[in-house]
Structure 1
Amino acid sequence: MTQNSGLLERLPDRTGLDRIWSVLPKARLVGGSVRDLLAGVAVHDLDLATPEPPDDVQRRLEQAGIRVIPTGLAHGTVTALLDSVPYEITTLRRDEETDGRHAIVAWTQDWAEDAARRDFTINAMSLDRHDRLHDYFGGREDIQNHRVRFVGDASRRIAEDALRALRFFRFDARYGHGVPDRKACQAVSEQLGLIGTLSAERVASELLRILSGPRLNETIGAMASVGLLQVLLPEPDQHFLNRLLACEAPVSSLLRLFALCHRNSPELAGRLKLSNADGAKIEAWASAQPALHPELSDDDLRRLRVLQDLDLLVERSWLQQARLVGAPDSVWDRFRSRLQAMPQPEFPLSGKDAIAQGVRPGPGMGQWLKTGRDWWMAQGCLPDRSACLAYLATQK
Structure 2
Amino acid sequence: MIPDNPEDPTNVPMFAEPAAKQASRAAPGSRLPSDPVATVDPTPLLTAHGGAAAALIELLGGDARFVGGCVRDMVLGEFGSGDIDIATPVHPNTVTRRLTRAGWKAIPVGIEHGTVLAVAPEDGGTFEITTLREDIETDGRHAKVRFTEDWQQDAARRDFTYNALSVDRKGNLYDYFGGLEDLETGHTRFVGNAADRIAEDRLRILRAYRFHARFGLRAWDGATARSLAAQAQGLEALSGERIRQEMGKILLGPRVVETLAMMAEHGVLAYVVPAASHRARLNDFTLLDRLITLEDLHDQPGLWRRLAALLHRDEARMTGLAAHYRVANRDRDALLRLSASLPARTLNWGLYLDGPAAALDRLLLDAAEMNTPASADFVRQIQTYQPQTLPISGQDAIDLGVEAGPEVGRLIRRIEAWWVERDFWPTREQCLWELSNVIKDEFDLRSA
Give TM-score, length-normalised by structure 2.
0.80
The question of 1:322 aligning with 2:360 is answered no
State which drifts further: 282-291 or 148-157: 282-291
Task: Return closer, same or farther for 1:161/1:382 CA change in 2, 3 Å cut-off.
Answer: same
Give the match for residue 295 of structure 1.
none
1: CA distance between counterparts of 2:54 and 2:383? 48
Give the match for residue 21 of structure 2.
none
Give the match for residue 107 of structure 2.
69
Structure 1 residue 388 displacement after superposition = 2.5
Task: Return closer, same or farther for 1:130/1:340 CA change in 2, 3 Å cut-off.
Answer: closer
The question of 1:356 aligning with 2:393 is answered no
1: CA distance between counterparts of 2:375 and 2:84? 43
Give the match for residue 252 of structure 1.
302
Please give the secondary structure, in 1, of the residue aligned with 2:37: strand
2: CA distance between counterparts of 1:378 and 1:336? 18
Structure 2 unmatched ranges of 5 or more:
1-32, 277-281, 444-448
Task: Return closer, same or farther for 1:66/1:301 CA change in 2, 3 Å cut-off.
Answer: closer
2: CA distance between counterparts of 1:181 and 1:388? 72
Structure 1 residue 58 displacement after superposition = 1.6
What letter matches 1:48 in structure 2? I
Give the match for residue 113 of structure 1.
153
The question of 1:89 aligning with 2:123 is answered no
Task: Return closer, same or farther for 1:303/1:220 CA change in 2, 3 Å cut-off.
Answer: closer
Deviations 1:79-132 (A, max 9, x none): 233352112211111112111111111111111111111111011111122321
1: CA distance between counterparts of 2:172 and 2:423? 69
The answer on whether the counterparts of 1:376 and 1:388 sit within 8 Å (CA) in structure 2 is no
1: CA distance between counterparts of 2:52 and 2:342? 54
Task: Return closer, same or farther for 1:63/1:220 CA change in 2, 3 Å cut-off.
Answer: same
Q: Percent identity?
A: 37
RMSD: 2.3
The answer on whether the counterparts of 1:148 and 1:181 sit within 8 Å (CA) in structure 2 is no
1: CA distance between counterparts of 2:300 and 2:310? 16
2: CA distance between counterparts of 1:162 and 1:392? 66
2: CA distance between counterparts of 1:20 and 1:370? 61
Structure 1 residue 366 displacement after superposition = 2.1
The answer on whether the counterparts of 2:159 and 2:204 sit within 8 Å (CA) in structure 1 is yes
Structure 1 residue 239 displacement after superposition = 1.8
Task: Return closer, same or farther for 1:10/1:201 CA change in 2, 3 Å cut-off.
Answer: closer
Structure 1 residue 374 displacement after superposition = 4.3
Q: Count the aligned residue pairs.
A: 386
The correspondence for 1:282, drawn from 317, 332, 335, is 335
Structure 1 residue 37 displacement after superposition = 1.0
The question of 1:128 aligning with 2:168 is answered yes
Please give the secondary structure, in 1, of the residue aligned with 2:118: strand
Give the match for residue 40 of structure 2.
6
Please give the secondary structure, in 2, of the residue aligned with 1:150: coil
Give the match for residue 175 of structure 1.
215
Task: Return closer, same or farther for 1:21/1:341 CA change in 2, 3 Å cut-off.
Answer: closer
1: CA distance between counterparts of 2:416 and 2:303? 36
Structure 1 unmatched ranges of 5 or more:
293-299
Please give the secondary structure, in 1, of the residue aligned with 2:229: helix
Please give the secondary structure, in 2, of the residue aligned with 1:68: strand
The question of 1:38 aligning with 2:95 is answered no
Deviations 1:259-300 (A, max 9, x none): 1113322322112222212211222111455536xxxxxxx5
Please give the secondary structure, in 2, of the residue aligned with 1:336: helix
Give the match for residue 153 of structure 1.
193
2: CA distance between counterparts of 1:382 and 1:362? 28
